[in-house]
């Protein structure tokens, strides 16, 4: 039986001070929908915020619908559609990156080349589809306004109680998750409206099946800068990922109620990781997330992208966003025709992996003056080629062995995986006779020593402390 799904994405305030994202999924069948990943653009200056939601819905456009709790009756001017390419550009440009270097042969002329490699892991947003139709029966649900924006028919609904809204959805053929009603209740009590978007019937025929729908962009004002995520856990299954692209005039955005942690960066890793960088970074992210206690916001990129700043990354793995891209993302101050106006723009990319246990509170943000540049960056190095029989070449080979051993240690430390996991699918290398495979026994022995030496030192410390206490008790010291 074909499944039709509606995604309730909460993108605004649950009170005049709060807005929400990553909402509840409503399924028309008994099948489950995994709310795994989302992308959002946040633009913040003063009390003004612009939020852009990304949808990668690939089914029949007629089956798509989105429900968004909003604090006020949005006007037509507050709702826009933008091109989905803005998300593709921001992701490609700010993604964690791999940089590739070539060692020089110390025995003869210099030859080097820098290359950049990009982890273009697609952050896919599981989308929703449905086709709700309003019922005439009085359930306390009222159509307050109706707009046509881009390819979307948009209704603004109000509801008197969560059970009435639930019934309205059920009578229109949608099965609500069991926890949805209690999660929706605070929105109802806060007198929120409900923004419902579906593809216009005439426009649906013009959209090819599988093509992307336009992201929706909403503007509003509030003294608080908060992104509730708990609503998205109502029908979520396990860990969910959220990529946040943010633009401000001042500097980085940071979480107020969860720790902000930078991803490891600048580490030298084995050359064979180049062929599996997606896996490497995924394991590095997961390992860092586990090590830091899970309830964190991980920084992957931060840089001044103002028009007057020519250097926006080092290295760049995609074309930096131009003024037009930034304006499309919602940065309204770049539209100012006054050349004397402050057009400073700072871009932050945060990656949050959340679940019910690790994130009991919604995300609260602040705009900081921190303009320190950062990017999650990893390095692979090709060994020098050619004759290395000169004295300098022999020294280089001894150093190369140590460097490669260090790279293997870094791989284990960053990912929490074993080297064998990677080498099992890697062709043996023999660059200058120093293959990673030949170093593996040494690295394993060193790692085993690390695993045993620390418990041994801890036990020795306990013995010494206990002995000192006993001697003091005996009056010997």
Q: What is the pLDDT of residues 445-461, one digit of tens each?
A: 666 665 555 555 556 66
Assess whether pLDDT exceeds 90 at residue 423. no
> What local confidence, expressed as pLDDT, does residue 420 receive?
76
pLDDT band of residue 179 (cuts 50, 70, 90) is low
Q: What percent of the chain has pLDDT over 70?
A: 67
Average pLDDT over residues 414-440: 69
Measure the N-to-C terminal CA separation of the chain; round to a whole number of Å.
81
d(CA 119, CA 242): 17
Average pLDDT over residues 393-400: 90
Residues near 450 by beta carbon (within 8 Å), at least 6 away in sequence: none
Residue range 89-122, pLDDT digits in tens: 998 889 999 988 888 889 875 333 333 333 333 2
Residue 60 backbone phi and psi in degrees, to 5:
-70, 125
CA 240 to chain centre: 10
Peptide bond into 315 cis (omega under 30): yes
Query: Quick check: 272 and 100 in contact, CB under 8 A?
Result: no
* Cβ neighbours around 353 below 10 Å, total: 20
d(CA 118, CA 249): 28
DSSP secondary structure of 171-235 = HTT-BPPTTHHHHHHHHHHTT-EEEEEEE-HHHHTTSPTTPPPPPEEEEEE-S--EE--GGGGSS
Taking alpha carbons only, the member of 126, 57, 54 closest to residue 91 is 54
Average pLDDT over residues 395-412: 90
* Cβ neighbours around 21 below 10 Å, total: 23
> What local confidence, expressed as pLDDT, does residue 460 receive?
62
> What local confidence, expressed as pLDDT, does residue 197 receive?
80
pLDDT band of residue 356 (cuts 50, 70, 90) is confident
> What local confidence, expressed as pLDDT, does residue 198 receive?
80
Q: Which residue has the tokens 């619908």?
A: 65
CA 456 to chain centre: 40
Residue 210 backbone phi and psi in degrees, to 5:
95, -10
> What local confidence, expressed as pLDDT, does residue 350 receive?
96
Handedness of CA 219, 206, 60, 241 (dihedral sign): negative
Assess whether pLDDT exceeds 50 at residue 294. yes
Pair type for strands 152-159 and 141-149: antiparallel
Assess whether pLDDT exceeds 70 at residue 409. yes
Q: Which residues of 169-185 are buried (b: 16+ CB within 10 A; e: fewer)?
A: beebebbbbeebbebbe
d(CA 209, CA 51): 26
The model carries a pTM of 0.76
Assess whether pLDDT exceeds 90 at residue 86. yes
pLDDT band of residue 314 (cuts 50, 70, 90) is confident
- CB-based burial of residue 143 (10 Å sphere; 0-12 exposed, 13-18 middle, 19+ buried)? exposed
Query: Quick check: 23 and 126 in contact, CB under 8 A?
Result: no
Query: Quick check: 22 and 39 in contact, CB under 8 A?
Result: no
d(CA 449, CA 433): 26
> What local confidence, expressed as pLDDT, does residue 208 receive?
66
User: Taking CA 357 as the corner, what is the angle to CA 352 and CA 361, rounded to the nearest 5 degrees?
Assistant: 65
Assess whether pLDDT exceeds 70 at residue 190. yes
Assess whether pLDDT exceeds 80 at residue 383. yes
Q: Mean pLDDT in the chain? A: 75
Residue range 150-178, pLDDT digits in tens: 888 888 888 887 777 777 766 754 445 56
Average pLDDT over residues 233-255: 85
Average pLDDT over residues 23-51: 63
pLDDT band of residue 27 (cuts 50, 70, 90) is very low
Handedness of CA 118, 93, 50, 327 (dihedral sign): negative
Q: What percent of the chain has pLDDT over 90?
A: 26
Residues near 422 by beta carbon (within 8 Å), at least 6 away in sequence: 270, 272, 273, 276, 411
d(CA 127, CA 38): 9
- Residue, of 435 and 471, whose pLDDT is higher: 435
- CB-based burial of residue 334 (10 Å sphere; 0-12 exposed, 13-18 middle, 19+ buried)? middle
d(CA 409, CA 270): 9
């Amino acid at each position: 039986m074909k499944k039709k799904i509606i995604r309730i994405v909460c993108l605004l305030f649950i009170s005049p001070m709060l807005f929400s994202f990553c909402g509840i999924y409503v399924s028309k069948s008994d099948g489950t929908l995994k709310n795994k990943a989302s992308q959002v653009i946040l633009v913040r200056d003063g009390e003004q915020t612009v939020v852009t939601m990304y949808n990668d819905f690939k089914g029949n456009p007629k089956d798509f619908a989105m429900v968004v709790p909003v604090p006020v009756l949005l006007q037509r001017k507050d709702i826009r559609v933008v091109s989905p390419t803005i998300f593709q550009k921001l992701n490609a440009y700010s993604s964690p990156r791999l940089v590739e270097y070539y060692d020089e042969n110390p025995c003869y002329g210099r030859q080097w080349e820098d290359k950049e490699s990009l982890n273009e892991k697609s952050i896919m947003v599981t989308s929703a589809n449905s086709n709700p139709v309003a019922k005439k029966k009085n359930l306390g649900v009222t159509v307050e306004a109706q707009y046509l924006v881009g390819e979307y028919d948009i209704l603004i609904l109000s509801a008197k109680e969560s059970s009435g809204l639930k019934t309205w959805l059920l009578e229109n053929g949608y099965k609500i998750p069991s926890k949805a009603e209690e999660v929706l209740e605070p929105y109802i009590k806060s007198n929120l409206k409900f923004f419902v978007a579906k593809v216009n019937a005439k426009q649906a025929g013009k959209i090819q099946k599988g093509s992307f729908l336009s992201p929706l962009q909403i503007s509003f004002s509030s003294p608080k800068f908060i992104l509730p995520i708990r609503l998205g856990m109502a029908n979520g299954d396990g860990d969910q990922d959220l990529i946040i692209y943010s633009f401000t005039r001042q500097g980085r955005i940071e979480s107020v109620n969860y720790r902000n942690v930078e991803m490891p960066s600048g580490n030298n890793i084995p050359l064979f990781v180049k062929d599996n960088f997606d896996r490497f970074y995924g394991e590095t992210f997961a390992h860092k997330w586990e090590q830091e206690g899970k309830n964190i916001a991980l920084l992957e990129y931060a840089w001044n992208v103002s028009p007057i700043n020519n250097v926006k990354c080092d290295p760049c793995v995609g074309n930096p966003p131009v003024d037009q891209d930034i304006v499309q993302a919602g940065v309204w101050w770049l539209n100012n025709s006054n050349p004397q106006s402050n057009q400073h723009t700072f871009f932050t990319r945060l990656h949050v992996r959340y679940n019910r246990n690790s994130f009991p509170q919604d995300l609260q943000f602040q705009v900081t003056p921190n303009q320190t540049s950062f990017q999650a960056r990893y390095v692979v190095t090709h060994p020098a080629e050619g004759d290395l029989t000169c004295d300098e070449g022999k020294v280089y080979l001894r150093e190369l062995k140590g460097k490669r051993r260090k790279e293997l240690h870094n791989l284990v430390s960053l990912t929490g995986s074993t080297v064998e996991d990677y080498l099992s699918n890697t062709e043996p290398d023999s660059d200058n006779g120093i293959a990673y495979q030949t170093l593996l026994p040494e690295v394993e022995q060193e790692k085993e020593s690390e695993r045993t030496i620390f418990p041994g030192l801890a036990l020795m410390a306990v013995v010494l402390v206990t002995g000192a206490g006993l001697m003091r008790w005996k009056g010997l010291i």
